[in-house]
Structure 1
């Protein structure tokens, strides 16, 4: 008898738990969903996502309280983009945030009933995402990470006053890289510098391609290319063999001791701009009504790694009070 009573009690408790779970579960599902389609795990992309979430929290949108997130990436594999976008579409988000050019371009063509906000894209106009620099697309707007290249070269001149030749690796398959190549060429010419550009078909070609700058480049610049950035450790290793310092667009590699320096936008601020646009869409605005956002000059930040400078026997000037020096 006691066994039967115990069994009935356990059954009642189990049913109660299932009932409560089913009752609360739909509420979680009904929270407005923000889907993030990311290219891969990289410091600049992660910082932008964090900046977006922090800005949305400031706007009153708290994760698992009145909104929720789903974040996926393709580990920089172009072949997986279609499946990721299809998966996120099936989740029926209120907004889809598309990080990096290949992701945004695919989403623009395939997603028409979900508002799109791009992020970490250097030139959204050349990429075909928007109608004009300050005019959104029909269903897409976003936040650019466009770099101030003349200011970057001025920064380099302070560290390497005799530098005349800059090496650049760029992907032939990315619109971001085409924009970078064009604008770095223009900035280099204005700074009386020579640009040595190395087109890259595939990341595996980088060690061989880099031999073309041996004894020719005074430094190498690595931009925000979705193809080139993930290979930064390889670039840095090869450059070290050739005694060529490397400057990166993102400062995380400087803090990690991988490259000499960086001058670029703060990616959390790029992400904050994404958050502002997402918040306005959640409040009822349409992407076409929202002007695309770009970094301001004050959003750029310079960092130098002291150990890297010693490694390349670079004597740092004393007047670097406006530059962050890390060990």
Structure 2
């Protein structure tokens, strides 16, 4: 079922706050927001997107928000409904939603700004990292994979085998796999691939890593991230520490560490592109934005790390990145 539409009207409040007349208050900029489902990282992206637009001067924005509870079969219906309101643009959150939006509104003239898409080139959303498509560009959540692997090796210097959990059917996950292999080789790590096409297989697949992997990396996968509790339970039973793409699981005491992209920054990057489109700039001239190293943060849970039989090296002593 498509989630309830939330229409956020900021125009009147903004106009009254600036002492403008009512005629200005109703000069709305309609923006549709298509979200795959409710999830902390995706919610953070959308919240930051809306807040940043206001900071950039789009104070008359009206947001129509829909989500489909991660049911991909409902994406066409969601996008069609948002497009029927003739918005100035649509924010498409995650790769499946962006791909659905491209199919439905890609040639209608309605611009689409994607967010939380790992590799828009692999997903065939943009022709390259240097330019947008005719009606689509956006903000990637592509992690600096070299930095992720360096962090893993620094945290677990004796590790030799890195297990990577992913969905072979999701372009994002496959794109990261290629990058992980390249970065791991540079750090003397062998990658152990663990493909998952449904969450029911997780306990068995993770348990099968006993004696085959020294650390598990869980990417920002739409399939695997919601199942992190199951991944964590299975990994703990065989004493393999997890480094996750999301820090929330570290705070929740589920995994040992995380090196993550700031989804606030992803939302802000998407808003910057949206503001330029609203100002009249050609979408095709706007290159998709990828996070820089500075847009990442590390977090370590010492208790969980110790349960897996490891201690944080002294090099992390003054990092300020431990869960309190």
Please give the range of the TM-score, normalised by the shorter of the 2 chains: 0.7 to 0.9
Taking the aligned partners of 1:303 and 1:41, their CA distance within structure 2 comes to 23
1:322 corresponding residue in structure 2 = 319
SS at match of 2:163: strand
TM, length-normalised to structure 1: 0.87
- Aligned counterpart for 1:55 among listed residues 45, 52, 63: 52
Taking the aligned partners of 1:28 and 1:233, their CA distance within structure 2 comes to 46
C-alpha deviation, 1:310, in angstroms: 3.0
SS at match of 2:157: coil
1:113 counterpart = 2:109 = yes
C-alpha deviation, 1:30, in angstroms: 5.6
1:56-96 residue CA offsets vs partner (Å, 9 max, x unmatched): 1211223xxx1111221111111111111111112221110
| Unaligned 5+ runs, structure 1 | 1-24
Taking the aligned partners of 1:276 and 1:210, their CA distance within structure 2 comes to 40
2:68 corresponding residue in structure 1 = 74
Taking the aligned partners of 1:275 and 1:296, their CA distance within structure 2 comes to 17
CA RMSD of aligned residues (A): 1.9
1:214 corresponding residue in structure 2 = 210
1:127-162 residue CA offsets vs partner (Å, 9 max, x unmatched): 000011111111100001111122112111222111
Structure 1 or 2: larger helix share? Answer: 1
1:102 corresponding residue in structure 2 = 96
Larger radius of gyration: 1
Residues 106, 26 of structure 1: CA spacing in aligned structure 2 closer, same or farther, 3 A cutoff?
farther
C-alpha deviation, 1:302, in angstroms: 0.9
Taking the aligned partners of 2:101 and 2:159, their CA distance within structure 1 comes to 41
Q: Is this contact kept in 2: 1:302–1:323, CA < 8 A?
A: no
| Unaligned 5+ runs, structure 2 | 1-21
1:179 counterpart = 2:175 = yes
C-alpha deviation, 1:38, in angstroms: 0.8
Q: Is this contact kept in 1: 2:34–2:91, CA < 8 A?
A: yes
Q: Is this contact kept in 2: 1:203–1:227, CA < 8 A?
A: yes
SS at match of 1:70: strand
1:141 counterpart = 2:145 = no
Taking the aligned partners of 2:290 and 2:223, their CA distance within structure 1 comes to 22
C-alpha deviation, 1:323, in angstroms: 4.7
Structure 2 counterparts to residues 164-243 of structure 1, below 5 A: 164-243=160-239
Q: Is this contact kept in 1: 2:30–2:89, CA < 8 A?
A: yes
C-alpha deviation, 1:312, in angstroms: 2.3
Q: Which moved more, 1:312-321 or 1:292-301?
A: 312-321
